[in-house]
Amino acid sequence: MAAYRPADRMVLPPVNAEKYQIVCHYCAVGCGYHVYKWPEGKAGGLLPDQNALGVDYTKQIAPLSGDWIAPAHHTVVTERDGQRYHIAIVPDKECVVNKGHHSARGGTLGSSLYRPDGPTHTRLTHPLVYRSTKQSPTTWDDAIDLTARVIYGSILRDGNDSIFMRVFDHGGGGGGFENNWAVGKFFFNAVQTINCGIHNRPAYNSEVHASRDMGVPEWNYAYVDAELTDTIVLWGTNSYEAQTNFYLVHMLPNLQGSTVKGKEAARPGEQVGPGRMIIIDPRRTSTVVVSEQAGGKERVLHLQLKPGTDIALANAIARVVYEREWHDKDFVANRVEAETVQPFLEQSLQIGKSLDEVLAEAENITGLSRAQIEQAASWIAETKSDGSRPRAIFLYEKGVIWGLKNYQNVGSIVNLALLTGNFGKPGTGCGRLGGHQEGYVRPAYRGPRPAPYIDDLLSQGQGNVFYVAGCNPAITTLNAQRMRETLQTRGKLVRDALDANFAADNATKAQAILEATRQGGLFIIVQDIYLTATAQYAHVVFPAAAWGESPITSINGERRLRLDEKFMDPPGIAEPDWKIFGMLAQRIKALAQADGNTDIVQRFSGFEWTTAEEVFLEGGASFADGVKASTERYKGVDYNFLKAAGNNGIQTPVTIVNGKPQGRVRYFENGEPFYTESGKAKMLPTPWPGFPAIVQEQINKYPYFLTNGRNNNWQTLYNDMNIPFFAERTPISFIEISPEDAKKEALQAGDLVRLFNDYGETTAYTVISTSVKPGMIFMLFAHPNTTANSLTTPYVDPEVIIPYYKGSAVGLQRIGRLADLDARLTYQPNNFEKVV
Ligand SMILES: Nc1nc2c(c(=O)[nH]1)N[C@H]1C(S)=C(S)[C@@H](COP(=O)(O)OP(=O)(O)OC[C@H]3O[C@@H](n4cnc5c(=O)[nH]c(N)nc54)[C@H](O)[C@@H]3O)O[C@H]1N2
Ligand SMILES: Nc1nc2c(c(=O)[nH]1)N[C@H]1C(S)=C(S)[C@@H](COP(=O)(O)OP(=O)(O)OC[C@H]3O[C@@H](n4cnc5c(=O)[nH]c(N)nc54)[C@H](O)[C@@H]3O)O[C@H]1N2
Ligand SMILES: [Mo]
């Protein structure tokens, strides 16, 4: 039987409850919420003048109305002074992003908060240092001192690049402009290493180098554009689950025709009607099923291509558009660098071959029919009967970014958007849907492009120190079994050194650690809010303050900059990330001062921040003035301004007009130049490269193609494992397998299977689903106990060092059944289709 029983009654916030503005910290969409906080023992009443929401609770309240407070929205916290408060986190009806809606993640923000008397008591409360065979709680001074001595000693002996890092660079929880500026200043200005990774990839780079090289910043559209467009192209994304309220609140209404009035106003004189959607995904996802049900099958085209064949598909669609002369000739002539067009026509569109030849080849590569490819071209670009051009918005995410070849994957979609002139007008754009929110502000990275592939280097024994903050490479990096082996074996040498020197002081211990690094040891520091799978290998663990425990600012997928206020204390003695880097820098500076090392003193100066806003403003000031402003530029904005701007914030980049900050809705309007030297966009030659040898070898050897991704919970489930609603639903990872293959393998829904290949093994339970075709398995990717990354290969796009996370191959063996799962789970597929 299920153990989770939601409460059947709620304490309401009284009229005088404290109220804060906040944005959900999980995904890029960034829905607005209000936090209500009031002392335990107090309660509001049912009548509108008796509660803080001003709602009449004597009547039935509709879910997702913004007036409803569910048990999962609520918790009771204990502050550092011992006072206890109710907290309810309720979606904001006035926020234009979510209009009162919440996703499964946002709907559980309340229950994710730290409470010493609930499941989230597992939050880190104190720094931990490896001492006498285990990680032991200690003071900040002690943990910082040991860490500072090792980093300082390593820089002196082996140079800046002996320090490796893998740290968040995003907005939302575990990020924001404040913490990113601190990270950048620490690693790029002070440590000055080039051996850096980002939370979700093993090198310091962009997920969309191609788009930027083409002059197209990836955050160029606004959510309203999905309401105003004729055709929404969702490429390699499962938006219903991964960008839920952008999809539900802005995309679906367009398919259902309820945004037609807005279209008439924004696009005067054009023929408009309900929108359509093209979904390009090798799986029949919940997004496909929900779109078909809500918008009608005739408005949805699902191109269920063979995985890894996106480039061939994009090229073929573009070829049809070009052949039919549906492309935007004026746009291409005026806004694209002429010399980049011919190589695109030759290599991407293969104009040297006949259309029939090209389409036959594309059918063969993608597994789609010519009719489907032609229909996609027509929905994107066929001139309407009144002679007007249709508008399309191209939205892509991890099926493309972590696809077969990142650079050309992204480039081939941007090509299509350029060819069809879909920039700079309401209802157009081409960019990422997003992962976390954004919040990038840093001094320049010093390394080359392509940047070093740090997982490779670490596994080869390079580096003395590995600093991991706000991410979990033991489960989320590619070929993660190799990462865990590296952390295990190299980490042990340092543990042995510490065990051998238990009686010594920090200075001696630091020497012993540095000595161990000569023999291949690796000193591991993890800064997180939980004792993650990676933190279990750490010699030092720093406890960070989470969202809501210190102010942070971020932008969402339409560049909406907002302030998340602090509304509660961090657990124990945890501190915000920026402050931890500040403490560490100040300690290294003091060590260098004692040595008279003026170079290091100077590098580690300027970290004496006392408030989050100070860090925010310092980062903001680093944005250069001028027209070619970065997407994130917020110079001129402070916390007071953001408080007043509320949950709708301001859309970056910010410019100051008559002394007032001004944002913008979308890019490239009114002839705004593209971000190249010429001001014109570049097209990119994007021939389909075929499968890389490393991956092909697995495909040849193992029977099932393995892809992976998300569902309704939050990837590494760091909070979710403490929220019964999620933890009970996904106690371990699952696979989706087709009914045909399940039959072949004699698998029943719920069977525990072992998956394996040349890179590792893991387990999962079985869901039988029509989402995948025979020969393919989908796996939830980042469950802390059973990660799909034990099965991904070390392959990265060599041009940009971006992983091909989405493609591997596996063998499968049935292990048996788990009785406790049988008692609780239905094993129904996510796409709600009944399997017969
Ligand atoms: N196979 C496969 N692998 C993938 C992907 C895939 O699609 N397939 N996707 C990749 C992508 S896009 C991503 S984003 C990654 C996911 O990897 P991560 O970005 O690492 O995942 P998150 O779950 O967001 O984890 C954030 C970590 O930050 C911690 N945290 C939260 N708040 C704070 C804070 O305020 N301070 C600090 N210091 N820590 C905090 C959490 O406890 C958690 O450990 O996985 C990547 N790996
Ligand atoms: N609920 C929830 N929402 C999230 C997150 C979460 O963990 N949970 N994480 C956030 C983060 S950090 C990120 S990066 C985003 C990711 O958001 P998405 O990219 O939308 O999510 P994924 O599930 O990783 O992958 C999307 C789809 O790519 C498909 N795919 C696999 N291979 C291919 C291919 O070769 N071609 C194409 N065209 N498609 C392919 C998969 O079948 C999958 O349905 O989600 C964000 N939102
Ligand atoms: Mo992500």
CA distance 751 to 743: 12
Nearest bound ligand to CA 571? 1
Domain boundary among 622, 639, 659: 622
Strand 84-91 to strand 74-78: parallel, antiparallel, or no bridges (unpaired)?
antiparallel
Same domain, yes or no: 230 and 373: yes
Q: Assess if residue 729 is contained within a domain.
A: yes
Integer CA distances (angstroms), 132 to 283, 466, 489, 502, 511, in order? 50, 21, 18, 6, 17
Nearest bound ligand to CA 201? 1
Burial class (CB in 10 A: 0-12, 13-18, 19+), 106: buried
Nearest CA to ligand 1 atom 7: 709
End-to-end CA distance of the chain: 25
Domain boundary among 561, 595, 622: 622
pLDDT of residue 1: 54
Same domain, yes or no: 152 and 235: no
Identity of the amino acid at 439? G
Same domain, yes or no: 250 and 348: yes
Asked if residue 241 lies in contact with residue 780, where contact means CB atoms within 8 angstroms, the answer is no
Q: Does any ligand 1 atom lie closer than 6 A to the CB of residue 112? A: no
The model scores a pTM over 0.95: yes
CA distance 430 to 415: 10
SS3 of 810, please? strand
Q: Assess if residue 208 is contained within a domain.
A: no
Interior CA angle at 90 toward 89 and 92, to 5°? 130
Whose CA is closest to 179, among 549, 604, 641?
A: 549
Whose CA is closest to 252, among 281, 278, 275?
A: 275
Pocket probe for ligand 1: among 716, 722, 735, 777, the residue whose CB has the most ligand atoms within 8 Å is 716
Pocket probe for ligand 2: among 24, 27, 471, 735, the residue whose CB has the most ligand atoms within 8 Å is 27
Residue 660 backbone phi and psi in degrees, to 5 = -115, 135
Asked if residue 46 lies in contact with residue 56, where contact means CB atoms within 8 angstroms, the answer is yes
CA distance 551 to 568: 10
pLDDT of residue 835: 44
| Residues found in the chain | 836
CA distance 200 to 406: 14
Q: Assess if residue 288 is contained within a domain.
A: yes
CA distance 580 to 84: 27
The stretches in the chain having pLDDT less than 50 are 627, 834-836
Same domain, yes or no: 276 and 395: yes
Q: Does any ligand 2 atom lie closer than 6 A to the CB of residue 710? A: yes
Query: Domain of 118: which CATH number?
Result: 2.60.40.4210
Query: What one-character-per-residue DSSP string does 573-588 give?
Result: T-B-HHHHHHHHHHHH
* Helix (H) or strand (E) segment spanning residue 735: strand 734-737
Half-sphere exposure for 223 (CA within 13 Å, toward CB): 28
Query: Domain of 417: which CATH number?
Result: 3.40.228.10
DSSP state of 694: H
Same domain, yes or no: 600 and 720: no
Integer CA distances (angstroms), 428 to 318, 380, 382, 388, 666, in order? 17, 11, 15, 14, 9
The total number of structural domains that make up the chain:
4
CB atoms closer than 10 angstroms to residue 678: 14
Q: Does any ligand 1 atom lie closer than 6 A to the CB of residue 541? A: no
Q: Does any ligand 1 atom lie closer than 6 A to the CB of residue 792? A: yes
Q: Assess if residue 443 is contained within a domain.
A: no
Domain boundary among 122, 156, 188: 122
The string of pLDDT tens digits covering residues 36-74 is 999 999 999 999 999 999 999 999 988 778 898 999 999
Same domain, yes or no: 117 and 152: no
Same domain, yes or no: 118 and 134: no
Q: Assess if residue 683 is contained within a domain.
A: no
Angle between helices 506-518 and 140-158 (to 10 degrees): 40
Query: Domain of 743: which CATH number?
Result: 2.40.40.20
Q: Assess if residue 243 is contained within a domain.
A: yes
Tell how far CA 222 is from the center of its chain.
18
Nearest CA to ligand 2 atom 33: 399
Unique residue bearing structure tokens 């966009």: 681
Same domain, yes or no: 403 and 481: no
Nearest CA to ligand 2 atom 18: 237
Same domain, yes or no: 177 and 233: no
Q: Does any ligand 2 atom lie closer than 6 A to the CB of residue 175? A: no
Whose CA is closest to 317, among 390, 405, 412, 237?
A: 412
Residue 94 backbone phi and psi in degrees, to 5 = -85, -10
Q: Does any ligand 2 atom lie closer than 6 A to the CB of residue 490? A: no
CA distance 457 to 195: 9
Interior CA angle at 334 toward 329 and 340, to 5°? 85
CA distance 418 to 421: 5
Pocket probe for ligand 1: among 243, 455, 472, the residue whose CB has the most ligand atoms within 8 Å is 472
Same domain, yes or no: 186 and 235: no
pLDDT of residue 64: 75
Query: Domain of 592: which CATH number?
Result: 3.40.50.740
Same domain, yes or no: 393 and 522: no
Q: Assess if residue 451 is contained within a domain.
A: no
Domain span at 44: 18-122
Query: What residue spans of 530-576 are helical by DSSP H?
Result: none
Whose CA is closest to 531, among 542, 523, 521, 522?
A: 542
Same domain, yes or no: 347 and 247: yes
Q: Assess if residue 363 is contained within a domain.
A: yes
pLDDT of residue 68: 86
